[in-house]
Structures are given as C-alpha cells and as structure tokens.
Amino acid sequence: MRQLFNKLAVAMATTTLVASSSLAEPKAKVPEATVVAMSPTFTWNGVTVSNQGRLFVSMQRDVKDSTTPSVGEILPNGTIAAFPGGSWNQFRWGNSGENQFIGINSVVSDSKDQLWVVDPAGIGGQPIAGKAKLVQIDIPSRKVVRVYRLDTKVVPKGGFINDVRVGGGYAYLPDSSLGALIVVNLSTGEARRVLANDSRLRSDRSLKLTVSGKPYLNAKGQLPNGNMSVNPVELSTDGRYFYFQPSGGPVLMRIETRLLKDFSTPDSVLSKAIQPMGRGPFNAGMTMAKDGSIYFSDIELGGISRRFPDGHFEVVAKGPASILVWPDASRLGPDGYLYFPSSQINRFAGNSPTGKSELQFPFHLFKVKVASP
C-alpha cells in the first residue's frame, strides 16, 4: 500500500506565470505556465514524468534529522506517496543506508518506464564518501531492479553525483563538485571516471552570476562552490551525443557517446573530442526535445529558455521572483508540458549571503506548454 505523507500535502494550483517574448525573435503566443504542486514541509530539486504521465520528485535531505521520503510520487488526489515505499524511503541518521535513500539529488525516468534515482548520499549537500549509488526501479511493479554502488575510485571523497541520463545500456552521471563524468555499463555494473583533469568541466570562479537580479555570493562574498562544476547534462534524442556544461557555463559542450562507452578510450582522446556548442546559460538542468531544441532551467532568467538547433535562444516562460527561485531539473511529459521545480538553492545556508537558511516554504513545482513534446 502506498505511504501517504500528511506533512507533504500537494496543493494543486492554477497560478499563471509571467511569460515573456522571445530573446531573438517575436512569438505569436508564449505558452502559459502554471503551478502544479506545492510542498509545505520538504525541499525538492527535480522532477520526472513517466510514459503514463506519472510525476515523481526528488527531495533532498537538507539536515541530518530530516524525515523526507526522498522520492515521492505526486498523486492525482493532491497527496505525495513515498516511492517505491517501505524501508527505501525510511532512512534515518545512523542507519547504514545500504538499501535506503540517504540523500538523493535526482530522479529520471526512461522510455522503458524505469526510474533512475541518483543518491550521492548527500546531507545538506555534503556527500558521505563511499555511499554513492544509482538505483533502478521498475515503475509499474514498484520493484527495485538493481543498485549500482559507486566506490571511492569512481566517486572520490568530496565527489557529488548530481544527475543521470540513461541510454544504449549505459548511464552517464556528472560529478558536480569535483568536475568529472562517470560512465556506468548497466549490464556489467562496471563504472569509469573520466575527464577529471579537464578544467572545462569545473566551475569558473571568475564568473559574475546573478539570481533574482542579485549577485550570487555566499556570506564570504564569494561564488558558492557547491555543485557548480559540470551539472546540467542531457543525451541527444538519438543517443549519439552527451551534452554537458558547468552550471555557470559559459560554454555548452557535447561528446560522442561511442567514445564514453569504450572504456579503453584514454582521457587525452576524450578531451580532444569535446565539441563546444556555443553559449550555455547559468542553469541547473536541461531537457532536449525531439526537434533537437534544448530547454534550460535558466537561473538568471528565473524561468525557462530554449536553445534551437541553430543556436539561437528564446524565452519560454518566467515566473514571479518570489516563488520561482532557481528553476531546477526539468523533464518533458507525454502531454507536451515541461515540468520543473523551484529549488531555492541560493537560499540554503551555505549559499546565502547571510550564511543562514533563507528558504521560504512552500516549495513550488511548475509546468509550461512547449511546442515540441
């Protein structure tokens, strides 16, 4: 039986976002975006949509004593059910966490209705070394299919697996803390860390970034370091290319997946094979549509921007600054809507200018109709 969380009631809403016209050329009509759900108790930073339109959210463990279920399914009746249910969603500080979600950071569903849960074992964004794992769950049966455990050779101390894309029998994960890519052979379970010495995957500390119109600086007056290295990632719809960039950009890059899949390919070859694709905005997630357009969770914009295959951008939607703060990991649903959360990353204590938590509840989940589902 599904576990329902009274503390995490989801309010279905119809708040309309303020949508703007194109950055590059005018549009006849900008799709409206609406608030889909609200979380009055727990934080969240990502969403995914199954083939049947089921919504799943990733909820970070921001403090040790958090009772977050980590993975939740937003139900039609306005509640959230722990997914898959049982002990997986019941981690408490002091547990080993071997077969529990310790501190997840992303949920992604694939075309085969498998849910992939990225667990860097992060407590308040600080990972527990040696505990990182990727969990595969069959959505229809709610059964855990396999757990891929990533040791410290693949995710060393201080490393933070942030997101995942799955295709062609492989999983690709960014280490958004230290700056590297992890490739997992899903058949054998073998994993490899690559491009750890390529500076293009790491955060450029000289960038001047803004959130809600204000400089993104911590209490020390510095650009926060947490998870600013390679973070937004995506697979091309044909599986040929893997796209990636540091959160702050400024360059979007891609590499052929055939090279990443070949574990004999040295880093020197991989580095030379990286293709710069032009400007990459300050963002926390990207989703590619069938036509090759990329939808960015654009942090400085406070909304969604779209990069067309020819490289030009337009604004899809933006929302009231008070509730759409740090748009995060998005996914396209079968209904043609792009779903994305406001994660307020800049308001966490370690990132805020006061050094204290400035989080404002409830947290919001949005959707916007896009041209290319």
Asked whether the bond before 341 is cis by omega within 30 degrees of 0, the reply is no
Cα–Cα distance, 24 to 31 (Å, whole number): 16
- The domain total for the chain is 1
What is the tens place of the pLDDT at every residue in 331-345? 999 999 999 999 999
For residue 233, give its domain range: 6-369
Residue 1 lies in a domain: no
Mean pLDDT of the chain: 91
Percent of the chain with pLDDT over 90: 83
Section 35-48 average pLDDT: 95
Residue 79 lies in a domain: yes
pTM to 2 decimal places: 0.93
Read off the pLDDT band of 26 (50, 70, 90).
Answer: very low
Report angle CA 167, 171, 175 to the nearest 5 degrees: 140
Q: What's residue 19's pLDDT?
A: 39
Q: Which two tokens stand for residue 257?
A: 């997946």
Read off the pLDDT band of 372 (50, 70, 90).
Answer: low
DSSP 8-state class, residue 327: B
Q: What's residue 283's pLDDT?
A: 97
Out of 142-151, 208-217, 223-232, least confident range = 223-232
Percent of the chain with pLDDT over 70: 91
| Spatial contact of 260 and 243, defined as CB atoms under 8 Å apart | no
16 versus 288: which is more confidently predicted?
Answer: 288
Cα–Cα distance, 283 to 305 (Å, whole number): 10
Residue 292 lies in a domain: yes
Contact partners, residue 342, CB within 8 Å, separation at least 6: 319, 323, 324, 325, 326, 327, 328, 363, 364, 365, 366
Residue 121 lies in a domain: yes
What is the tens place of the pLDDT at every residue in 270-316? 999 999 999 999 999 999 999 999 999 999 999 999 999 999 999 99
CATH number of the domain residue 209 falls in? 2.120.10.30
Residue 356 lies in a domain: yes
Q: Is the pLDDT of residue 14 over 60?
A: no
